[in-house]
Structure 1
Amino acid sequence: MCLYSTLLILILEDDIMFFKISVVLLGLLALSTVYHQIQKKIEVNKNPAPGEMIRVGDGRMHIYGKGEGSPAILFTCGNGMGFTLGNYYPVFSALAKKTRVVIYDRFGYGWSDSTSRPRTMKQINEDLYELLDKSPETGPFILVGHSLGATEVVEFAQRYPELVVGVVTLDGTSPTFYRNRKSLHAQNTVAAAIARLLSATGLLRILTNINLLSTAGASSPKEIVKITNMMTYNRVYSHEAVEEVKALINNDQEQSTLGDIPVLILTADNLKMKKKQAEIYQYFVNSQKELLTLSSKSRQKIIENADHFFPIKKPDIVIEELLNFLDTL
């Protein structure tokens, strides 16, 4: 009996210790949540949009231009954690010395509001068209899109060719990459749910501030890094971001040609992806080959020793390629 009593006491002590640890952790989580929500309001007030907020449909969209010249270069970001100014700041700043450069935030990203409008690529293109029509930006434009943003700019050029003189995709994809890939939507939805939970509790703020998670380029100034981090832990995987992928998966619209609009396809060699995610890598390769067929003036360049995020990690390469592309026009 003595042995059983001793074991029982030890078990009870372990349970009490576990309970105490759980209470402490829950308390810290509650404090983190309250602190994050307070700081979130303060940061939003301290960091207003640098550009114009223009009413488009049921919300406002952010657009920001800098520099002089024509054609203007218009940037859009990828899906999920993208934030256009933060992603492209070194590129944006360098090219503004040569021509007009413009960034904008889709609904659900950056400073732009949320929206009840569907997140089909057709609607996203119509949002951008309306935004440009109401803004001082007159074009014509070289459109630059990273990842999912490449699909956006390609389809925009197909719908509004009169506004576009060139298209540049940065490790982008064609609609066939997403089409009927139900598992991709499931993965995106789970990732979004986890990210939103981490965001709401302030844990994402902690991860970002200790440099474990950030979408800011290393060469960006501290102020841009701070704002990019703010966007990362406040707007990560918004409802709009999830709906974009869902709409692309269910999209069965055929790709139309871009005619003779020049297209530059910058593709990361993605060696790590090739080794660890061979199936996804092959999808990527095939979808970027498809982009090559869209224009009679298309060209692809492989960026060596680069991953999917080379526009953020290796901005000098993007600057050089865009300046060369601008010269050819």
Structure 2
Amino acid sequence: MMKKILIILLKIFGAIVIAFALFIATVYFVNVFSNKSEAGKIKPYGQSVAVDGKNMNVLIQGKGEETVVLLPGYGTPAPALDFKPLIDELSPFYKVVVIEPFGYGLSDITEKERTTENMVSEIHEALQQLNITPHYTLMGHSISGIYGLDYVNKYPNEVNAFVGIDSSVPTQGGNDDPFPTDVYKLLKKSGFYRLLMKLAPDQLIAPAVDDETREQIRMLSLKNTFNPNNLSEGENFGPNFKAAEGLTFPKDLPVIFFLQENDTETEGWIPLHEEQVKNSVHGKVMTFEGGHYLHHTRSKEIAENFRKFMNEVK
């Protein structure tokens, strides 16, 4: 009797193992085939610029005399599509240039480590290739607060203002934890990231755009999230933030921050930014209700207050 029960249990266990193996294999192959299929469905936008022997994608909209350069937050899968509400608000008055760093949007992958030094150098080269000459405003979301801080110190004669959209601060903390590269690699390669996106489609971060554009953002998110450049940038959070700790915005550079009112993740979010502009001749902090991606819901207010700020400092 016991022997029969044992045989039945072993069969059940074997069936479970086989079912689990089939599930894993199905998730993997569905991801492989979907990646190939979606590669042909991603529609081009913007233009390609030669930077360091690679192709960097940029989008230019508007013909204003003054230029605003938009830099994305960490991991934004398609910056030119993500910034669409803000581009539409700014482009009637400015020439708007959206940079998609390597590993973002439609840009190539680079073998170079994602240090602040490399990323800032590449952004600058892209602007030079586009003949975006002084003076232009840098407007950066999230992590671009770190890269932008380095940029304005490296090229002080080119940038006429810095605008932070819920932008990162060197002293915000929380960037010394080990980055789980292997976990993210496994999620992407196994196909489980795609499965998670399928099970919880609401986790896709996108502005209010038409269904077609949203689908493009979804496909680019699956393509770019956890790619080699995305992972390298994450691994460099610690040293990149540390390197920025000794930097301050040039005193005479106009700086304005647009922040979410109720950040629950970072202690002292608003005071940290107020500290950054305390010595600025033209420094301002404004808050709005909304999430971290303020430009998805507050683009009109951002554009209006930016224009007002720039008129005041002239």
Q: Does 1:303 align with 2:288?
A: yes
State the partner residue of 1:293.
Answer: 278
Q: Deviations over 1:11-61 (max 9, x none)?
A: 2242133134214313422331332232143234xx22x222122113221
Q: Distance in 2 between matches of 1:158 and 1:226?
A: 38
Structural RMSD (CA):
2.6
State the partner residue of 2:204.
Answer: 214
Q: Which has the higher helix share?
A: 1
1:78 to 63, 73, 82: 73
Shift of 1:300: 0.5
Shift of 1:312: 2.6
Q: Aligned pair in 2 of structure 1 residues 216, 26: CA closer, same or farther (>3 Å)?
A: same
Q: Does 1:64 align with 2:59?
A: yes
Q: Does 1:312 align with 2:301?
A: no
* AA of the residue aligned to 2:176: K
Q: Distance in 2 between matches of 1:78 and 1:240?
A: 14
Q: Deviations over 1:95-123 (max 9, x none)?
A: 21222111011111111112233322222
Shift of 1:178: 5.5
Q: Distance in 2 between matches of 1:104 and 1:241?
A: 15
TM-score (norm: length of structure 1): 0.83
Matches within 5 A, 1:176-215: 176-177=171-172, 181-183=175-177, 186=178, 189-190=179-180, 192-208=181-197, 211-215=201-205
Shift of 1:282: 1.7
Kept after mapping to 2: 8 A contact 1:174/1:290: no
1:124 to 119, 125, 133: 119
Kept after mapping to 1: 8 A contact 2:49/2:130: yes
Matches within 5 A, 1:152-171: 152-171=147-166
TM-score (norm: length of structure 2): 0.86
Q: Distance in 1 between matches of 2:195 and 2:22?
A: 18
Shift of 1:236: 0.8
Q: Aligned pair in 2 of structure 1 residues 43, 207: CA closer, same or farther (>3 Å)?
A: farther
Kept after mapping to 1: 8 A contact 2:103/2:227: yes
Q: Distance in 2 between matches of 1:294 and 1:156?
A: 19
Q: Distance in 2 between matches of 1:208 and 1:319?
A: 32
Q: Does 1:54 align with 2:49?
A: yes
| Number of residues of Structure 1 aligned to a counterpart in Structure 2 | 309
* AA of the residue aligned to 1:212: D
Kept after mapping to 1: 8 A contact 2:85/2:295: no
Report SS of the residue matched to 1:16: helix
Kept after mapping to 2: 8 A contact 1:87/1:216: yes
Kept after mapping to 2: 8 A contact 1:144/1:169: yes
Shift of 1:232: 0.8
Sequence identity percentage? 19
Report SS of the residue matched to 1:101: strand
State the partner residue of 1:7.
Answer: 5
Q: Deviations over 1:218-277 (max 9, x none)?
A: x22333222211221111133323333444522445214412221111111235x2xxx5
Shift of 1:289: 3.3
Q: Aligned pair in 2 of structure 1 residues 231, 307: CA closer, same or farther (>3 Å)?
A: same
